[in-house]
Amino acid sequence: MAKTVQERSAKAAQKRLEVAEKELRHKVRPGIEQAMERIRLRGKVPIISEVLQIAIMKMDLMGDNELIEFLRYPRHEIVISENVARAFQEKSIAEASRNPGDEILKPCVPDTR
């Protein structure tokens, strides 16, 4: 005979108690949610919670240095080309010459020769 919804719910609740399962909630912005969905699809994992659990288990296996590098938040590096620096300097000098009394400071342009 098939179990009722209440019987199935009670059995699931009992199992959660037995394995000390906890529900964690985490708020994310749309970009993170989209990234998680892409990862889920690429990894062919049916639900996001499994993706997160697998990721945590794999991170737990990493060495300290590998984990620190992996968890480092990606930052964009701003690189100003020599042409842009030169154009900025020329326009700055032109603007400063139109407003007497302003200091003229030359930007530091690395020598790439």
Q: Give this prediction's pTM.
A: 0.53
| Distance, CA of 67 to CA of 69 (rounded, Å) | 5
Task: Answer for the pair 57, 64: CB distance below 8 angstroms, yes or no.
Answer: no
Q: Tell which wins on pLDDT, 1 or 27.
A: 27
| Closest to 67 measured CA to CA, from 59, 78, 75, 56 | 59
Task: Answer for the pair 73, 97: CB distance below 8 angstroms, yes or no.
Answer: no
Q: Answer yes or no: is 100 within a domain.
A: no
State the helix-helix crossing angle for 48-61 and 64-71, rounded to 10 degrees.
Answer: 140
Residue 18's identity, in one-letter code, is E
Average confidence (pLDDT) over 20-31: 89
Q: How far is CA 16 from the centre of its chain?
A: 31
Q: Containing domain of residue 67, as a range?
A: 24-74
Q: Answer yes or no: is 98 within a domain.
A: no
H or E stretch at 53: helix 48-61
> In percent, how much of the chain has pLDDT > 70?
88
Number of domains in the chain: 1
Q: Tell which wins on pLDDT, 95 or 106.
A: 95
Q: Answer yes or no: is 40 within a domain.
A: yes
Q: Answer yes or no: is 95 within a domain.
A: no
Q: Answer yes or no: is 81 within a domain.
A: no
Q: Answer yes or no: is 14 within a domain.
A: no
Task: Provide the 10 A C-beta neighbour count for residue 89.
Answer: 15
